[in-house]
Amino acid sequence: MTTIQGPAIFLAQFIGDQAPFNSLEAICRWAKGHGYEGVQLPTNDPRFIDLQKAAESKTYADEVKGIVNEAGLQITELSTHLQGQLVAVHPAYDTLFDGFAPEQYRNNPKARTEWAVQQLKYAAQASQNLGLNACATFSGALLWPMVYPWPQRPAGLVETGFQELADRWLPILNEFEERGVDLCYEIHPGEDLHDGISYEMFLEQVNQHPRACLLYDPSHFVLQALDYLAYIDHYHERIRMFHVKDAELNPTGKQGVYGGYQSWVNRAGRFRSLGDGQVDFKAVFSKLTQYDFKGWAVLEWECALKHPEQGAAEGAPFIKDHIIRVTEKAFDDFASAGMDEAKNKRILGLS
């Protein structure tokens, strides 16, 4: 077994225009001051990392890594969530998702998709240059408007959608294979890969690709009423990344999983700061440790109520308190009688 690494923090929700959140050097010092040991870097803001440059220049990648290391931190992984979303977008969402792409690719879905695919390939190369072994992303979605089967879905629609999704991702996955990096899909509502079954459907279409791995985030499963602990039992061999994020689902006589179009504050299901929701993190850390998860425990802070800086300040000690230092010996070794093959055979009546 392996002791999980951490605590680390995903920077996406904290980046802003005011110090210390507007530069890599300053935000790393801020994170270190809160007790974090690693940072997960989003790749859509060149103030923090120029993804293409990090892919094409090992010298530049070393410079970025040096800034983080100088603050006493490590880069845990890169995040390509926004670019991954744009690999596959249903036309109904074109306008909403255009903001994820540079202005020159907006109102042009084909060019936007090509840009996103290239971004993912850059991420594979940049991860290799940074010495990382995993990268986070979203799958995007062609089928999400049809997630509820009304009106009735035409025969073959789902199969066609997953085949197209696989065709778009296979060249990217092959690039990650070439670079020796796992691509970890965050299983998330709004993506075609939103639960275990949809992930399995995708895996079948990409021929069980060894780099099509998982970012485990229990909060998204709480909001779906999915068993987030059994999920680890099913998919632990593919889990390479871990977002430590809390959530709660409190259905009423008026609303449930779908939320009635309410704001995050008024939804039955909402994200919460660590310890304020319903995730049993003692059980989560125990299962991941049991299955020898070798990655980082990374805070992803999202909460409808609490201020982000309070969430960040509370997150590091929360994660640190849940990381299990693995044992190197069995607890009952004190009673061991040692190894005696002849004795064992006598006990079994074999001699």
The beta strands (E) that lie in the chain are given as 5-10, 38-42, 74-80, 134-137, 182-186, 212-216, 239-244, 246-249, 269-272, 296-299
Please tell me the pTM assigned to this model: 0.96
- Please say whether the beta carbons of 2 and 292 come within 8 A: yes
The average pLDDT across 218-230 equals 98
If one counts the domains in the chain, the total is 1
Residue 63 corresponds to which tokens in the numbers above?
A: 């410079």
Predicted local distance difference test score (pLDDT) of residue 351: 74
How far apart are alpha carbons 336 and 344 in whole angstroms? 13
Tens digits of per-residue pLDDT, 38-78?
A: 999 999 999 999 999 999 999 999 999 999 999 999 999 99
**Beta carbons within 8 Å of 76's beta carbon, 6+ residues apart:** 5, 8, 38, 39, 40, 132, 295, 296, 298
Tens digits of per-residue pLDDT, 88-147?
A: 999 999 999 999 999 999 999 999 999 999 999 999 999 999 999 999 999 999 999 999
The average pLDDT across 2-21 equals 97
Predicted local distance difference test score (pLDDT) of residue 338: 78
The average pLDDT across 11-15 equals 97
Q: Which is more confidently placed, 334 or 30?
A: 30
Q: Print the domain residue range for 336.
A: 5-347
Q: Phi first, then psi: what are they for 58, rounded to 5°?
A: -65, -35
Tens digits of per-residue pLDDT, 248-292?
A: 999 999 999 999 999 999 999 999 999 999 999 999 999 999 999
How far apart are alpha carbons 71 and 38 in whole angstroms? 10
The average pLDDT across 228-237 equals 98
**Residue 84 pLDDT exceeds 90:** yes
Q: What is the mean pLDDT of the chain?
A: 97
How far apart are alpha carbons 162 and 168 in whole angstroms? 10
- Please say whether the beta carbons of 112 and 118 come within 8 A: no
Percent of the chain topping pLDDT 90: 93
Give the CA-trace dihedral at 105, 110, 111, 116, to 10 degrees. Answer: 90
Tens digits of per-residue pLDDT, 144-167?
A: 999 999 999 999 999 999 999 999
Distance of alpha carbon 274 from its chain centroid, rounded? 16
Predicted local distance difference test score (pLDDT) of residue 6: 97
Closest CA to 288 of 233, 223, 220: 233
Residue 9 corresponds to which tokens in the numbers above?
A: 């923090």
CATH of the domain at 109: 3.20.20.150
Tens digits of per-residue pLDDT, 331-348?
A: 777 667 778 888 888 889
Give the CA-trace dihedral at 122, 7, 69, 49, to 10 degrees. Answer: 30
